[in-house]
């Protein structure tokens, strides 16, 4: 069994400020070490659950944040860009499931450091009428390839907006969001323990031999939420891929009319209004590649 662990940074325990996710300062160096440690916790848990091969995808910014010399030696690391599958790079090798570590709420959500792909460029992204953030977009890309998401970790806002599209997945709530840059977090050590336990359960569940869920040692969740281990009561069904049938219509709301002007230089994009455009394509992979290309174009206006 081969597992892809896609690791972002905004949902990592202890991360709240933009300086922590941007290279060039001491706070970032500590945050990338926490990010690497949470990836390692997922590796540890997945192997304990029966995974035989692990790929860890660095899925933040320039895709070169994880510390290779700090990575569990039982995993291989996917680094650098450009890459066609972006945050799902590694799936082309043939994986059985995806684990999302350190993910965050979509743009204009209420989560910590919420954004979708490019905070400068994109305000809202809709696929076939459904508003999605990075987890939804890339989860649908994985689903198109027949691969389910079996575990997601991040703050409560991320989990609340994402859990319904990944039935059967496990969840680890690393933080409770009080605002864009504030909230309550688990310690990095407690977050790692929760992630390792949830990853083990997620892989066992995928294999069909999940044990009865153990109680969490983490803080209680808000009413209607999840525990630090992300387990509501009772057994879950087997995880299933999140599939969005083609054709794919993407409706993109930009952060400014200038960005919409720029993006509509692309002949296949249709202007809807001052800040909104749309395009239609035949697959989620094409939609994600188009969005990533537009994000790269946006640097012309920075």
pLDDT at 266 over 60: yes
Over residues 118-139, the pLDDT tens digits come to 999 999 999 999 999 999 999 9
CB half-sphere exposure, 97, CA atoms < 13 A? 30
Angle between helices 188-207 and 26-48 (to 10 degrees): 30
Q: What is the domain partition of the chain in residue ranges?
A: 2-117+133-207, 248-301
d(CA 147, CA 150): 9
pLDDT at 270 over 80: yes
Over residues 1-51, the pLDDT tens digits come to 999 999 999 999 999 999 999 999 899 999 999 999 999 999 999 999 999
Mean pLDDT of 82-106: 97
Q: Can you tell me whether residue 245 is helix, strand or coil?
A: coil
Split at pLDDT 50, 70, 90, the class of 237 is confident
**DSSP assignment string, 97-118:** EEEEEEE-PPTTSSSTT--SS-
The confidence score (pLDDT) of residue 210 equals 61
Give CA separation, 57 vs 63, 134, 254, in Å.
8, 14, 27
Mean pLDDT of 103-120: 96
The confidence score (pLDDT) of residue 221 equals 40
The confidence score (pLDDT) of residue 220 equals 36
The confidence score (pLDDT) of residue 218 equals 42
Q: What are the residues facing 149 on neighbouring strands?
A: 98
By percentage, how much of the chain surpasses pLDDT 70?
91
In degrees, rounded to 5, the angle at the alpha carbon of residue 109 between the alpha carbons of residues 105 and 115 is: 55
The confidence score (pLDDT) of residue 95 equals 97
Q: Does domain 2-117+133-207 have CATH number 3.30.565.10?
A: no
Mean pLDDT of all residues in the chain?
92
The confidence score (pLDDT) of residue 238 equals 87
* Residues present in the chain in total: 302
Report the predicted TM-score, pTM, of the whole model to 2 decimal places: 0.92
Split at pLDDT 50, 70, 90, the class of 180 is very high
Chain-centroid distance, C-alpha 287: 17
Q: Which helix (H) or strand (E) holds 177?
A: strand 170-179
233-262 burial, b at 16+ Cβ within 10 Å, e below that, comes to eeebeebebbebeeebebbbbbbeeebbeb
The confidence score (pLDDT) of residue 227 equals 45
The torsion region of residue 84 among left (phi > 0), alpha (psi -120 to 50) and beta comes to alpha
- Out of 194-208, 211-225, 269-283, least confident range: 211-225
d(CA 264, CA 33): 39
Q: What are the residues facing 173 on neighbouring strands?
A: 154
Asked whether the beta carbons of 142 and 91 are under 8 A apart, the reply is yes
By percentage, how much of the chain surpasses pLDDT 90?
89
The confidence score (pLDDT) of residue 275 equals 98
Residue 207: count of CB within 10 angstroms of its CB:
15
């Amino acid at each position: 069994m081969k597992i892809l662990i896609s690791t972002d940074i905004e949902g990592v325990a202890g991360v709240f400020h933009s300086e922590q996710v941007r290279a060039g300062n001491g706070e970032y160096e500590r945050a990338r070490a926490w990010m690497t440690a949470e990836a390692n916790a997922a590796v540890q848990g997945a192997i304990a659950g029966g995974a035989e091969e692990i790929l860890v995808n660095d899925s933040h910014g320039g895709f070169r944040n994880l510390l290779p010399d700090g990575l569990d030696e039982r995993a291989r690391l996917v680094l650098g860009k450009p890459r066609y599958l972006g945050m799902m790079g590694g799936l082309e090798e043939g994986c059985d499931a995806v684990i999302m570590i350190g993910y965050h709420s979509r743009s204009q959500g209420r989560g910590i450091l919420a954004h979708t792909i490019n905070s400068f460029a994109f305000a809202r992204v809709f696929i076939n009428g459904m508003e999605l953030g990075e987890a939804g977009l890339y989860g649908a890309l994985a689903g198109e390839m027949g691969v389910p998401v079996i575990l997601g970790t991040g703050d409560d806002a991320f989990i609340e907006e994402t859990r319904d599209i990944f039935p059967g997945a496990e969840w680890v709530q690393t933080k409770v969001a009080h605002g864009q840059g504030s909230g309550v977090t688990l310690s990095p050590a407690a977050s790692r323990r929760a992630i390792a336990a949830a990853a083990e359960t997620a892989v066992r569940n995928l294999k069909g031999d999940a044990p009865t869920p153990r109680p969490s040692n983490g803080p209680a969740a808000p009413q209607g939420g999840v525990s630090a281990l992300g387990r509501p009561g009772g057994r879950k069904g087997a995880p299933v891929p999140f599939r969005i049938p083609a054709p794919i219509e993407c409706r993109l709301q930009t952060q400014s009319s200038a960005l919409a002007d720029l993006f509509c230089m692309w002949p296949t994009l249709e202007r809807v209004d001052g800040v909104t455009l749309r395009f239609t394509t035949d697959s989620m992979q094409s939609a994600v590649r188009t969005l990533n290309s537009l994000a790269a174009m946006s640097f012309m206006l920075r």
